[in-house]
Amino acid sequence: MTATNLAAHWMPFTANKGFKEKPRMLSAAKGMYWTTDDQRQVLDMTAGLWCCNAGHGHPHIAEAIAKQARALDYAPSFGFGHELSFELSERLAQLAPGNLNKVFYTNSGSESVDTALKMAMAYHYAKGNTDRQMFISREKAYHGVNFGGVSVAGLTNNYKAFGQWLPNDRLSHTQDLTLNAFSHGLPLHGGIEKANELETLIQRHDASRIAAVIIEPITGAGGVLPPPVGYLKRVREICDQHDILLIFDEVITGFGRTGNVFASQTFDVTPDIMTTAKGLTNGAAPMGAVLAGDHIYDAIVNNSGPGVEFFHGYTYSAHPLACAAAMATLDVYEQEDLYKRGAADGEISQYFEQGLHSLKGLPGVIDVRNYSFIAAVEFEPLAGKPGATGSLVQTSAWEQGLMLRSLGEAIAMSPPLIMEKEHVDQTIGILERSIKQHLA
| Domain chopping of the chain, boundaries | 3-54+340-439, 63-335
Kindly tell me if the per-residue pLDDT of 3 is higher than 80: no
* CA pair distance 252, 411, nearest whole angstrom: 16
Kindly tell me if the per-residue pLDDT of 86 is higher than 80: yes
| pLDDT, position 383 | 87
* CA pair distance 157, 213, nearest whole angstrom: 22
Kindly tell me if the per-residue pLDDT of 387 is higher than 90: no
Q: Output the average pLDDT for the chain.
A: 96
Read off the pLDDT of residues 26-71 as tens digits, 9 standing for 90 and up. 999 999 999 999 999 999 999 999 999 999 999 999 999 999 999 9
| pLDDT, position 413 | 98
Beta strands 374-379 and 410-413 are antiparallel
| pLDDT, position 82 | 98
Read off the pLDDT of residues 279-335 as tens digits, 9 standing for 90 and up. 999 999 999 999 999 999 999 999 888 999 999 999 999 999 999 999 999 999 999
DSSP string, 312-366: ---TTTT-HHHHHHHHHHHHHHHHTTHHHHT-TTSHHHHHHHHHHHTTTTSTTEE
- Band of pLDDT at residue 341, cut at 50, 70 and 90: very high
- Band of pLDDT at residue 4, cut at 50, 70 and 90: confident
| pLDDT, position 334 | 98
* CA pair distance 240, 244, nearest whole angstrom: 6
The gap from C-alpha 180 to its chain's centroid, in whole angstroms, comes to 23
Instruction: Spell 158-197 as b/e; 16+ CB within 10 A means b.
Output: bbeeeeeebebebbebbbbeeebebbbbbbeebbeebbeb
% of the chain at pLDDT higher than 70: 99
Q: DSSP letter at 371? A: E
- 156-160, 179-183, 274-278: least confident range: 156-160
* CA pair distance 257, 415, nearest whole angstrom: 9
Q: DSSP letter at 387? A: T
What pTM value is reported for the model? 0.97
- Asked if 343 and 335 count as a contact pair (C-beta separation under 8 A), the reply is no
Kindly tell me if the per-residue pLDDT of 80 is higher than 80: yes
Kindly tell me if the per-residue pLDDT of 351 is higher than 80: yes
CATH number of 63-335: 3.40.640.10
**The CATH number fitting domain 3-54+340-439, selected from 3.20.20.70, 3.90.1150.10, 3.40.30.10, 2.60.40.420:** 3.90.1150.10
Rounded-to-10 torsion of CA 388, 393, 395, 399: 160
Give me the sheet containing 410-413, strands edge to edge. Answer: 365-371, 374-379, 410-413, 405-407
| pLDDT, position 386 | 85
